[in-house]
Amino acid sequence: MSTVLDEIIGGVREDLEDRRAKHPLEKVQELALSTAPALDAVCALRGDGQTVRIISEVKRSSPSKGVLGEIADPAELAVKYQRGGAAAISVLTEERRFGGSLEDLDAVRAHVSIPILRKDFIVDEYQIWEARAHGADLVLLIVAALEEDTLSAFLELAESLGMNALVEAHTSEEISIAQRVGAKIIGINVRNLKTLEVKNAHYAELAADLPESVIKVAESGVSGLSDVQNYAQAGADVVLIGETLVKSGDPEKTVREFSAVPHL
């Protein structure tokens, strides 16, 4: 029986082949190697250690909630995030379920000076080269979507291009895999990608398995300030937030408020 993750990845592979046909890997590699060097996402996400760092997301829709909001100008939204103190910007580029695009990534890159995460379902090295070619500083690597050897190879490729990877886990076993491949930034997504169920307490249960040397990112489940505070109390260094900021009437103010939460 296929899961939501399986269905998303199926669509991602189809769309990838269309792009590959239009833009051969060799051309994408040339562009990736000629673009400006990637920004240091590890440094940005560590910050001064006094407050939680926020990755603010440009997210048009999701499989669980549908359309979240009309984002007429993703760059304008990203600039508001940056002014509010976001440590990095996450840009959804998956098209079918999330309404994202590489054009959104290009627009944001042209208007912000902080690290950008290409948020997508990476299943082929082409997408990593593509991310760098479009100015991304971080890529998302989902443990549940990749064999361990592939995950390791993708992480190595990303780092060889000067980028970092947010390695996303959902279980203790996946956290162990992330650590084995040498991930510096590990995210715990409290949304089960196979069922879309959200369980915020899942973060605290799993975060205890992470060493202090790793940047710990809490993903999903933020509906307000108290959720950010709870993640901080559970040891999160960074919180990735999409829906709540997109739907906020004042995203700059909201990011500023969230970014002031003490890091415990």
Adjacent-strand bridge partners of 55: 88, 240
Q: Are 146 and 177 in contact (CB under 8 A)?
A: no
Say whether pLDDT at 167 is over 70.
Answer: yes
Adjacent-strand bridge partners of 53: 238
Strands (E), the chain: 53-58, 61-62, 66-67, 88-92, 116-119, 138-142, 164-169, 185-189, 215-219, 238-241
Q: Which helix (H) or strand (E) holds 142?
A: strand 138-142
Question: How confident is the model at residue 5, as a pLDDT?
Answer: 86
164 is catalytic: no
Q: Are 181 and 165 in contact (CB under 8 A)?
A: no
Convert the pLDDT of each residue in 177-200 to its tens digit: 999 999 999 999 988 777 778 888
Question: How confident is the model at residue 70, as a pLDDT?
Answer: 72
Encoded tokens for 205:
């249960």
Please state, in angstroms and rounded to a whole number, the distance separating the CA atoms of residues 220 and 227: 10
For the residues 250-257, what does the mean pLDDT come to? 95
Say whether pLDDT at 69 is over 80.
Answer: no
Q: Which helix (H) or strand (E) holds 253?
A: helix 251-259
Identify the band that residue 66 occupies on the pLDDT scale cut at 50, 70 and 90: low
Please state, in angstroms and rounded to a whole number, the distance separating the CA atoms of residues 252 and 12: 32
| Least-confidence region, from 124-133, 153-162, 237-246 | 237-246
Which member of 56, 94, 119, 192 is catalytic?
A: 119
Global pTM value: 0.95
Which residues, 6 or more positions from 226, have their beta carbon under 8 angstroms from its beta carbon? none
Encoded tokens for 62:
């999701």
Identify the band that residue 60 occupies on the pLDDT scale cut at 50, 70 and 90: confident
Question: How confident is the model at residue 46, as a pLDDT?
Answer: 93
Which member of 56, 57, 230, 259 is catalytic?
A: 57
243 is catalytic: no
CATH code reported for the domain at 4-260: 3.20.20.70
Helix, coil or strand: residue 134: coil
189 is catalytic: yes
Which member of 189, 192, 230, 259 is catalytic?
A: 189
Which member of 56, 220, 230, 259 is catalytic?
A: 220
Give me the residue label for tokens 């003490």: 262
